[in-house]
Amino acid sequence: MIGWLQGELADPWQLDKRYGLQLRCHGVGYDVQVSHRQWLQLPAVGTPTALHIHASIREDASTLYGFSDRHERDLFRELVAVSGVGPQMALGLLGAMAPSELIQAIVHADLRRLSKAPGVGKRTAERLAVELRSRLQKRFANQLDASEFEGGGAGDGDGDGDPAINLEGASRDEVHLTLGALGYEALEIQRAMRAVAGLGLAEGAGAEDWIRECLRWLSRDVA
């Protein structure tokens, strides 16, 4: 199984909404698909190039997908493991935002941002958040800055990991997914949860209580 190729960049190509290149290695030309974002960043033809490869082998076709970074390839593999997400949709997600941004959107259940990728609807965005949130948070924590998993940079005070928010992980995810499905941005949700926690919501309150109180806070005319 091909996992990595090094050669000379040749013949970048575009076919409808698919993007790729030919990588010539020791007299053999490999056609490799890449994301639109990566395609736009390709160096000049003839430049020595190395790509981490995901090989898809089917009865009717064999396709190579290329990534400049191994962690991006690993993220691609996580995406295509989700029901309803194929290689083209996964490339569309990676083409719409950088890997760190995509992981952050999934971890924080930012459905609006995920839905901006080609072919990704709200239900697919919800499925990505539900199925991948915990795995991505664990798998990529060492490769990405910890602040990306805490709802913002240090000092903004809007992270959903604030110790004042007495809510279990699964219930917190439910709050994020429900409010995200209603059209609220991740940062709005985090601010609402922090505000509700500051109002002294009972420690034993469940997800429904948090959703109700967050909606009440979000409906206010808050600057």
- Show the domains of the chain with their CATH numbers: 4-68 (2.40.50.140), 70-149 (1.10.150.20), 153-223 (no CATH)
pLDDT, residue 164, reads 56
pLDDT for 162 equals 44
Burial of 171 (0-12, 13-18, 19+ CB in 10 A): middle
Residue 142 is predicted with a pLDDT of 56
The per-residue pLDDT for range 123-170, each reduced to its tens digit, is 899 889 888 988 887 787 655 444 444 444 433 444 444 435 777 777
- Residue numbers of the chain with a pLDDT score lower than 70: 141-164, 203, 221-223
Q: What is the pLDDT of residue 179?
A: 82
157's CB contacts (< 8 A; 6+ apart) are 194
Specify the DSSP class assigned to residue 148: G
* Residue 2 and residue 53 in contact, taking contact as beta carbons nearer than 8 Å: yes
**Could you give the dihedral angle defined by the CA atoms of residues 151, 207, 141 and 131, in that order, rounded to the nearest 10 degrees?**
-120
Tell me how far apart the alpha carbons of residues 48 and 6 are, in angstroms, rounded to a whole number.
Answer: 7
pLDDT of residue 204: 75
